[in-house]
Amino acid sequence: MSQTLIAGIILVVIIALFLSEKIPLAVTSLAGAVIVGLFGLVEHKAVFTSFASTSMVLMISMMIVGSSLFHTGLAQKIGNVLYKMTGGSERSLILISVLSGTLLSSVCSGTATLVTLFPIITSLCVTARVSVSKTYLPLSYGICFGSMLTVAASGMGTASSGLLEDAGFRAWGFLEPAYVGAPLAVVGIIVLMIIGGKVLPDTHMEPEMSKTDEEDRKSHTSAKMWISGIVMIAIFVMMIISPKGLPLYMISSTGVVVLLLTRTISQKQMFDSISWSSVFLIAGMTTVANAVSNSGLGQVIADSILKLCGNNQNPVFIIAVLLLVTALLTQFLSNNASILIMAPIGIALANSLGIEPYAFVMATFVGCLSCFCTPMATPALAYVMEPGGYRYRDFAKAGLLMQLVYFIVGLIVIPLVWL
């Protein structure tokens, strides 16, 4: 049995278990990581690499820093201010969630954006008595929107830009993705505001952070609030500046050390801040996604679907196919893996037609950020799955709407700008 077939079977079983919800998601994810290792789809020593990767260190440290806003009472104060400014309606909270996610993720990493805004949005929901499940998905969607506004906003932007340069073409301009990213964000936000209340699930989940708030209320002081806020702002500024030789995970980890040394948070609060189920879910599925990529399954799926194009040389038709195929792959692979598979195919197709590849590569860029239908599609969705009380099918219900927005807007804008 080939590794490609084994990877396909494992992936189908994992998806079936996710849908059945008979086994905790984190357990399914961990089991998937171990099984792909046992079958040799990844090296044994690489099975748990994602559990201690720099990306995971960044996420965990930002969980701690973000939760410090709750432990010190700052998140509640910000939430109360926002509540008074907006009235606390469900629609206003959806708008705040998606807008804040879009704006911050355009200049900072998606992980840092999510974990920073998470406690503030949670506190606002608690104050307004709105289900957190109505806001966590819009927050995650906003991060996807913001990732299309600049080249540096996501790894997919820099990856596709590098592939263009390697092929002998110019790299993306810093704001060039915004030609399609801005319309995607505007249309996506409008659609969410019009019908989001109907498609976004209401799980009636009670946030764990609201319980923690009651326990920590007596320890709230102005000094701790100030330190927590200053550390958060300093981290964001440093991440935006990106000093040479200082990676993001070191910046966020330094913030954690400052919070601990100043006793802004305790060691117990630090450990309580970490969502271990989210860590195991994201890390485990990262290993599975790497195994699927290593097996060649993604390439087989891409090649098979592209063969359906036949000899059709209409560039707009090819853009549509690239959008669909990349969006399909990214539901089960990492965003970066999807674009590393599909962008070279786009460049090769453009060369065969004798045209510049920018439209085709941008189609793969948009496609790999059309990551709304499964928690495997992007860490942002995996992170909010448990605290939002979402079921696997909830992502598809709301996500298909965003997938449709990305396909239609991408198919209209990309040919107009890059063909």
How many Cβ atoms are within 10 Å of 400's Cβ, its own excluded? 13
* Secondary structure (3-state) at 21: coil
Q: How far is CA 287 from CA 22, 70, 397, in A?
A: 22, 32, 26
Percent of the chain at pLDDT > 70 equals: 95
Confidence band, pLDDT 50/70/90 cuts, at residue 169: very high
Residue 12 buriedness (CB in 10 A; 0-12 / 13-18 / 19+): exposed
Confidence band, pLDDT 50/70/90 cuts, at residue 305: low
Q: How far is CA 102 from CA 89, 140, 148, 295, in A?
A: 20, 9, 9, 34
Sign of the CA dihedral running 76, 79, 85, 89:
negative
Residues, the chain = 419
Distance CA(392)–CA(77), nearest Å, equals: 33
Task: Note whether 395 and 281 are within 8 A (CB).
Answer: no
- Of 238, 262, 265, 260, nearest to 249 by C-alpha is 238
- Of 394, 366, 376, nearest to 137 by C-alpha is 394
Task: Locate 335 and state its tokens.
Answer: 């965003």
Whole-model pTM over 0.85: no
DSSP 8-state assignment for residue 170: P
Please check the confidence at residue 301 and state whether its pLDDT lies above 80. Answer: no
Percent of the chain at pLDDT > 90 equals: 35
Q: CA angle 328-171-305, nearest 5°?
A: 20
Task: Locate 227 and state its tokens.
Answer: 């330190």
Predicted confidence at residue 226, as pLDDT, reads 93
Give residue-wise pLDDT tens across range 197-230. Answer: 788 998 887 776 555 555 566 667 888 999 999 9
Distance CA(223)–CA(80), nearest Å, equals: 19
What is 314-327 written as a DSSP string? -HHHHHHHHHHHHH
Give residue-wise pLDDT tens across range 135-153. Answer: 999 999 999 999 999 887 8
Distance CA(126)–CA(130), nearest Å, equals: 7
Predicted confidence at residue 306, as pLDDT, reads 67
Q: Where are the domains of the chain?
A: 51-418
- Of 111, 66, 59, nearest to 229 by C-alpha is 66
Predicted confidence at residue 33, as pLDDT, reads 92
pLDDT (average), residues 2-12: 87
Task: Note whether 253 and 200 are within 8 A (CB).
Answer: no
Give residue-wise pLDDT tens across range 175-187. Answer: 899 999 999 999 9
Please check the confidence at residue 405 and state whether its pLDDT lies above 90. Answer: yes
**Element at 257 (helix H, strand E):** helix 248-261
Cα radius of gyration (the chain): 21
Please check the confidence at residue 109 and state whether its pLDDT lies above 90. Answer: no
**Please, which residues have CB within 8 angstroms of residue 275's CB and are 6 or more apart in sequence?**
63, 383, 386, 387
Torsion angle, alpha carbons of 99, 102, 105, 107, to 10: -90
